[in-house]
Chain A
Amino acid sequence: AQSVTQLDSHVSVSEGTPVLLRCNYSSSYSPSLFWYVQHPNKGLQLLLKYTSAATLVKGINGFEAEFKKSETSFHLTKPSAHMSDAAEYFCVANTGGFKTIFGAGTRLFVKA
């Protein structure tokens, strides 16, 4: 069965330190992978997507993610956290068609 696992429900970092949000997927086929961010009482905003081109994907707001097929991972990183990065982040997979699989989300806290 296809699945997306976000390994941490909560991550806390200090402002100016690196961010790492972990995501593993399980799929029989090479999926398209996405990271979205959700601020309170808002919809999801696309950060970046992987669709079998370059394995290192750069997104908005300084975020990037690396697709590692051997590890079935698609971790999201940012070199230096900002207070405005505090939000919930969703890793999402799609193996074709209309079936989209959402991870349970990781809430990022940024301390001043």
Chain B
Amino acid sequence: DGGITQSPKYLFRKEGQNVTLSCEQNLNHDAMYWYRQDPGQGLRLIYYSQIVNDFQKGDIAEGYSVSREKKESFPLTVTSAQKNPTAFYLCASSIAGSGNQPQHFGDGTRLSIL
């Protein structure tokens, strides 16, 4: 079945540590996104990528980094500069080029601080 796979489902970070969240899709979508979800809030865009080897900052990119070396993969690194990383992280993908295409979401990674 086509879809988006996020791993791990749960992740714990120590102080001063960088951690990387994985996102893989087999939908052949050009566009991929990372969102952060905090309790009682909507989703906030961290980074997005329209095409391989290109990505753009979203609304809350500070303390995060991404890469897009392959069409299928869009990993997110939460760096030690992100002082409040505890949240639910969602990866999504869509057909690029038009805003009338829905996004397809993975099942998320919940990141907590040790």
Residues of A within 8 A of B (CB): 4, 9, 31-32, 34, 36, 41-46, 49, 51-52, 90, 94-100, 102-105
Contacts and interface: CB of A to CB of B under 8 A. Distances in A.
B90 A44 contact: yes
9 contacts: A43-B6, A44-B92, A46-B102, A94-B100, A96-B99, A98-B50, A100-B33, A102-B43, A104-B42
Interface of chain B, main secondary structure: strand
B50 A42 contact: no
Interface of B: 4, 6, 9, 31, 33, 40-43, 45, 48, 50, 56, 88, 90, 92, 98-100, 102-108, 110
Contacts of A94: 99-100
A45 B107 contact: no
Q: Which of A4, A9, A42 has the most CB of B within 10 A?
A: A42
Given A9-B40, A98-B48, A104-B41, A41 B108 contact: yes
Given A9-B40, A43-B4, A43-B107, A96 B31 contact: no
6 residue pairs, one from A and one from B, having the closest CB atoms: A43-B105, A94-B99, A102-B42, A32-B100, A51-B100, A96-B99
Given A94-B99, A100-B99, A41 B42 contact: no
B50 A41 contact: no
Contacts of B56: 98
